[in-house]
Homo-oligomer: A and B are copies of this chain.
Amino acid sequence: MAQQTEAVRRPPLNRDRVLRAAVALADEIGIEALSMRKLAQELGVVPMALYKHVANKDQLLDGMVDVVVGEIDLPAPESDWKSAVRQRILSARRALQGHSWAAQVVRSRARPTPVVLAYMDSVIGIFRTGGFSVDLTHHVMHTLGSRVLGFTQELFDASPSPAPEAQAVLVPADAGQFPYVTELAMAVAHDEESVVGQGCDDQFEFEFALDLLLDGFERLRQQRWTSANPSGEKTV
């Protein structure tokens, strides 16, 4: 009956409250532990009550992505295309990084929601108004891939690994077996004494790749690259 008192006191459930509770719960216990049943319990409600506000778990995950994308800063008003794209993408990165599960959930979605489409539309718009042809914009967006939402697909995440283990993975016991991996891992370990010893500086790697791509885009734009005439220039 204590439970009934709680039930009376709580505000009526709605889609927004469900989504925000899901985001908070995933932040806390991780995405793999998030279940409809646990979310319901957190909201003091029976599991099936959630299904009045989200059609199923997939729609719940879509909604959670929308909450995160809603945290991305609005585009800067006046700037060249390159710094405008940079600003948006690095802001997306900050938003995604605030929720450790977000990148993983984004890449698991089959289709973009309207909220995500609106964000992508604004990035495409920066390229178009910045002098990129539709054709070049198309391929440039493909090249960016997941980077447009502020994350890159590393080959291995190792996110749920205890910190001390990290070094042991990069420098395997049998160092002779993978000489180039070992050489690289040792150089990284040495190099980064200043940093917390975490290994690689994610932010640096992200910006390195982003800038390499943006510089390549600028070169293609200047050459008036088209997919019909990849060598550029000559047709002008």
Question: Would you call B139 and A181 a contact (CB within 8 A)?
Answer: no
Task: Using C-beta atoms within 8 Å of the partner chain, give the interface range for chain A.
Answer: 35 or more
Residues of chain B contacted by A143 (CB below 8 angstroms): 205, 208-209, 212
User: Among B110, B141, B153, B188, which residue has its beta carbon within 8 angstroms of that of A146?
Assistant: B153
> Chain copies in the assembly?
2
Of the stretches A77-85, A93-101, A114-122, the one at the interface is A114-122
Question: Would you call A121 and B179 a contact (CB within 8 A)?
Answer: yes
Question: Would you call B141 and A184 a contact (CB within 8 A)?
Answer: yes
Question: Would you call A180 and B121 a contact (CB within 8 A)?
Answer: yes
A39, chain B: closest CB distance, angstroms: 21
Nearest chain-B residue to A121 (Cβ)? Answer: B178
Question: Would you call B142 and A209 a contact (CB within 8 A)?
Answer: yes
Tell me the interface secondary structure of chain A in the complex.
Answer: helix
Question: Would you call A184 and B138 a contact (CB within 8 A)?
Answer: yes
Report the 8 A-B pairs with minimum CB-CB distance, sorted nearest first: A153-B153, A124-B180, A146-B153, A121-B178, A142-B205, A143-B209, A134-B187, A212-B216
15 A-B contact pairs sorted by A residue (CB < 8 Å) = A106-B155, A109-B156, A110-B160, A110-B161, A112-B156, A118-B178, A120-B178, A121-B180, A138-B184, A138-B187, A138-B200, A148-B155, A149-B155, A152-B153, A208-B227
Supplied contacts A142-B209, A212-B213, A212-B217, 5 more A-B pairs, CB within 8 Å: A112-B156, A121-B180, A124-B180, A143-B205, A146-B154
Q: Contact residues of A with B, CB < 8 Å?
A: 106-107, 109-112, 114, 116-118, 120-122, 124-125, 128, 134-135, 137-139, 141-143, 145-146, 148-149, 152-161, 169, 172, 177-181, 183-184, 187-188, 191, 200, 204-205, 208-209, 212-213, 215-217, 220, 227
